[in-house]
């Protein structure tokens, strides 16, 4: 049986950002989230080798849940600049590591993961 490893990159991004503090490159740019996520992905790949893997991120913008419930995540704080500045280089590094990167407009990462897992199960 082939294995599929799907990672919620958005969740890992916040987890790494808040777990590792005060890490930056020689230009003073924050790198804590990048460092943390890449280490988690390396560890996952080592501990759970899979024939297929992908890192899934929330796409920018509204989701179908916002249309269903206008107060969805209404009280959530906006993303800190120190985190936002790490997203593009992180995604570039993930792709450079050979991980497919998936974003679906209007759908959150966990919903994409659930759909892909169900499709893989039925294949």
Q: For residue range 15-59, list pLDDT tens digits in order.
A: 999 999 999 999 999 999 999 999 999 999 999 999 999 999 999
Distance CA 91, CA 52 (A): 18
Q: What are phi and psi of 31, to 5 degrees?
A: -135, 10
Question: What are the residue ranges spanned by the domains of the chain?
Answer: 4-122
* CATH 3.40.50.300 fits domain 4-122: no
pLDDT of residue 64: 80
pLDDT of residue 51: 95
Residue listed under structure tokens 């590792």: 20
pTM for this predicted structure: 0.90
């Amino acid at each position: 049986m082939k294995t599929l490893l799907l990672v919620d990159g958005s969740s890992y991004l916040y987890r790494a950002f808040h777990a590792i503090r005060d890490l930056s490159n020689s230009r003073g740019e924050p790198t804590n989230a990048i460092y943390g996520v890449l280490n988690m992905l390396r560890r996952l790949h080592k501990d759970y080798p899979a024939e297929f893997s992908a890192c899934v991120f929330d796409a920018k913008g509204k989701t179908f849940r916002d249309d269903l419930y206008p107060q969805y995540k209404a009280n959530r704080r906006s993303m800190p600049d120190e985190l936002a500045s790490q997203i593009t280089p992180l995604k570039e590094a993930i792709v450079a590591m050979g991980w497919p990167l998936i974003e679906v407009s209007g759908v959150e990462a966990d919903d994409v993961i659930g759909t892909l897992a169900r499709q893989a199960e039925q294949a």
